């Protein structure tokens, strides 16, 4: 399946890109697993990384489906 991944703020800088299109094998199904694939590390999703699927907040175990937009970002600091 194909998904769109977006990064914001400091995560955009550390990944070196704002967004990308990612082709996933079917065995990658959660946000946490996607994070491992993107970072190449075995560790789970850090506490200070927030995630949204299709612009709604989700937890690390949320499932991803074909066509989803998944976003990773640091704690928010608006207002």
Partner 1 sequence: MKVELRKQRFTPWQEIERRQTLMQKDGQFGAVVSFIGNMRDSNEGDNVSAMALEHYPGMTEQHLEKICKQAEEKWDLMEVLVIHRVGDIEIGEAIVLVAVWSAHRAAAFEACRFIMEDLKSRAPFWKQETLEEGKRWVEKNTPGQS
Binding site for partner 1 (CB under 8 A): 6, 8-10, 52, 55-57, 71, 73-79
For the bound state, the minimum distance from the C-beta of residue 47 to partner 1, rounded and expressed in Å, comes to 12
For the bound state, the minimum distance from the C-beta of residue 78 to partner 1, rounded and expressed in Å, comes to 3
**Closer Cβ to partner 1, 26 or 77, answer by number:** 77
Contact between 60 and 31 (Cβ < 8 Å): yes
User: DSSP per residue over 23-36, as a string?
Assistant: E--TT--BHHHHHH
For the bound state, the minimum distance from the C-beta of residue 42 to partner 1, rounded and expressed in Å, comes to 25
Around Cβ 64, how many Cβ atoms within 10 Å? Answer: 22
């Amino acid at each position: 399946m194909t998904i769109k991944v977006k990064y914001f703020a400091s995560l955009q800088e550390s990944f070196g890109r704002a967004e990308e299109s990612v082709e996933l094998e079917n065995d990658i199904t959660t946000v946490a697993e996607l994070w491992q694939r993107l970072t190449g590390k075995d560790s789970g999703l850090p506490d200070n990384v927030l995630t949204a699927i299709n612009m709604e907040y989700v937890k690390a175990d949320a499932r991803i489906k074909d066509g989803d937009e998944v976003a990773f970002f640091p704690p928010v600091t608006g207002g």
